[in-house]
Amino acid sequence: MGNAQSAPARSFRDVVAWQKAHELVLSAYRLTEGFPRHELFGLTGQLRRAAVSIAANIAEGFGRQSDSEKLRFPNVAQGSADECRYYLILCRDLGYGDPTDAEAGVEETSRLLAGYAAAIRRRLEA
């Protein structure tokens, strides 16, 4: 990952946290395809929206002008990651598929988000 750190991201697509968040969205969609139909506007929609929110907030924050503005969005994304964590616990407890891949995706995305926010914070303090 050394090279990823040396070249500045030109697009939100270059941000590793966004890449992992996008993979999480795809995982959440695959998982929820097997949910019961009566969950379409319940758990299915909630999990999908929370996962999409993570990637969308990273993308939106990337386009902000100042680092102080940019810092707010990874924090919002982290909240959506926590929301996903809960929905995946609920999914497991209800017996709606195997959320293992999505759970791993949330953990990795959350870790990367923390590092991304820390990098922005360091720029603010410099």
Query: Residue 104's domain is classified under what CATH number?
Result: 1.20.1440.60
Q: What band does 39 get if pLDDT is binned at 50, 70 and 90?
A: very high
Q: Is residue 2 part of a domain?
A: no
Name the residue range of residue 24's domain: 13-125
Chain segment 58-76, per-residue pLDDT in tens: 999 999 988 888 999 999 9
Instruction: Supply the mean pLDDT for the chain.
Output: 92
Q: Is residue 8 part of a domain?
A: no
Q: What is the pLDDT of residue 67?
A: 87
Chain segment 87-122, per-residue pLDDT in tens: 999 999 999 999 999 999 999 999 999 999 999 999
Total domains in the chain come to: 1
Which contacts of 56-64 are long-range, i.e. CB under 8 A and separated by 24 or more positions?
A: 58/12, 58/15, 58/17, 58/18, 58/21, 58/113, 58/116, 59/12, 59/18, 62/9, 62/11, 62/12, 62/15, 62/18, 63/12
Q: Is residue 4 part of a domain?
A: no
On the question of pLDDT at 3 being above 70, the answer is no
